[in-house]
Amino acid sequence: MVIFVSKGCSRLDYLANIVEKAAIEAITRATIYLPPDVKEALRKAYESEVSEASKSQLKAILDNVKLAEELRRPICQDTGLILFFTKVGYDFPGIKVIEKAFVNAVRKATKEVPLRPNTVNPITGKNPGDNTGRFVPYIHWEFTEGDSLEFTVVPKGGGSEAVGLLEFPPPGEGLRAVKRIVIDAVLKAGAKPCPPTIIGVGIGGGGDIATILAKKAACVRKLGTKHPDPEIAKLEEELYEAINELGIGAMGLGGKYTILGIHIEYAHRHPATYPVAVIFQCWATRRASAIVKADGTYSVYQ
């Protein structure tokens, strides 16, 4: 039992402060340190790459990751658009304050880390300079049993985002369309999204649902995890092999590793539509998670 010894500070204020602190820590961690699964995948790619040109890029990537850790600086100068993927316990006592705490955290992290000011008004071109704005940071809400708040912060880079796409093939084409769209998306993206990338594919739902499923699959799901649906798991393996056989390689210089992984997710669809979304995540797959308990204790992890 935690007693809130507060001087003019309510339990909600207290939790707001904790959520903000946890979010700042998670943004900082995500920006500077690559998650272990991604680091491991890059190391393995470096070790088994045979193309000299591609290997030189993987070497520079690993050197850069190490330097960022040592100097505590952002891995990449594009510190992204900040996304929060939440899992909120129905009984978490601070639901009311989460959104405000996230926005404050982004403003403070922008100064402290520092982050590059990346939010631009698409109409006026103005940049508020603090990485916030209309609907950003983006917060994806999911609810679950319990009284904790769990969230994953994703600083999503623009170079890889710019080559994503959404298509509505004729439903009769089914999975054949998915395969074609993914292969063509990789060919069109070429070296632009900083390969080796992680590809997220969202199928079904509507255009919006397919896209958010693709984004979550690319940015949040860990490398080395298997999709629980065996058919999807098989499709992922099949496409992983095929894409890497294209030989685009690190930074498009030719090599074995065009992607580190491909993650597919689906939702049931309307009979008349078959949305397919493809989202690219650059090699600098940055994410960190936090769990905030109802009593105000929290931890940040990757």
Partner 1 sequence: MPIYHLKTPLSEDDIRSLEVGDIVYITGTIITARDAAHRRMLTYLKEGKPLPVDLRGGVIYHCGPVVRKTDESWEVIAAGPTTSARMELYEADVIKNFGVRMIVGKGGMGSKTAEACKKYGAVYVIFTGGAAILAAKAIKQVKGVEWIDLGIPEALWIFDVENFGPLLVAIDSKGKNLISEVIEKAKARREELLKRLGVLS
Contact residues toward partner 1 (CB under 8 A) are 52-53, 56-57, 60-61, 63-64, 67-68, 71, 73-79, 114-117, 127, 157, 159, 162, 176, 179-180, 183-184, 187, 190-194, 238-239, 242, 245-249, 251-254, 282-284
Rounded CA gap, 175 and 255, in Å? 27
Please answer whether residues 265 and 201 qualify as being in contact, where contact means their C-beta atoms are separated by less than 8 angstroms.
yes
Q: Smaller CB distance to partner 1: residue 208 or 241?
A: 241
Please answer whether residues 141 and 88 qualify as being in contact, where contact means their C-beta atoms are separated by less than 8 angstroms.
yes
- Tokens (6 digits) for 19: 């959520």
Please answer whether residues 272 and 259 qualify as being in contact, where contact means their C-beta atoms are separated by less than 8 angstroms.
no
Give the nearest distance from C-beta 121 to partner 1 in angstroms. 12
Rounded CA gap, 130 and 108, in Å? 8
Which amino acid, 270?
A: H
Please answer whether residues 118 and 158 qualify as being in contact, where contact means their C-beta atoms are separated by less than 8 angstroms.
yes
Give the nearest distance from C-beta 187 to partner 1 in angstroms. 6
Q: Smaller CB distance to partner 1: residue 121 or 297?
A: 121
Give the nearest distance from C-beta 215 to partner 1 in angstroms. 19
- Tokens (6 digits) for 6: 């507060």
User: What backbone phi and psi angles, to 5 degrees, belong to 36?
Assistant: -55, -40
Give the nearest distance from C-beta 164 to partner 1 in angstroms. 13
Helix (H), strand (E) at residue 108: helix 98-112
Q: Smaller CB distance to partner 1: residue 78 or 209?
A: 78
- Tokens (6 digits) for 290: 């936090």
Q: Smaller CB distance to partner 1: residue 129 or 206?
A: 129
Q: Smaller CB distance to partner 1: residue 119 or 211?
A: 119
Q: Smaller CB distance to partner 1: residue 190 or 206?
A: 190
Give the nearest distance from C-beta 287 to partner 1 in angstroms. 15
Give the nearest distance from C-beta 198 to partner 1 in angstroms. 13
Rounded CA gap, 53 and 288, in Å? 31
Tokens 């069109």 locate to: 188
Give the nearest distance from C-beta 149 to partner 1 in angstroms. 29
Give the nearest distance from C-beta 300 to partner 1 in angstroms. 22
Rounded CA gap, 225 and 69, in Å? 25
Tokens 């207290």 locate to: 14
Q: Smaller CB distance to partner 1: residue 9 or 60?
A: 60
The strand ranges marked E within the chain are 81-89, 138-140, 143-144, 149-156, 165-167, 197-205, 259-269, 276-281, 288-292, 298-301
Q: Smaller CB distance to partner 1: residue 14 or 280?
A: 280
Cis peptide bond N-terminal to 169, omega within 30: no
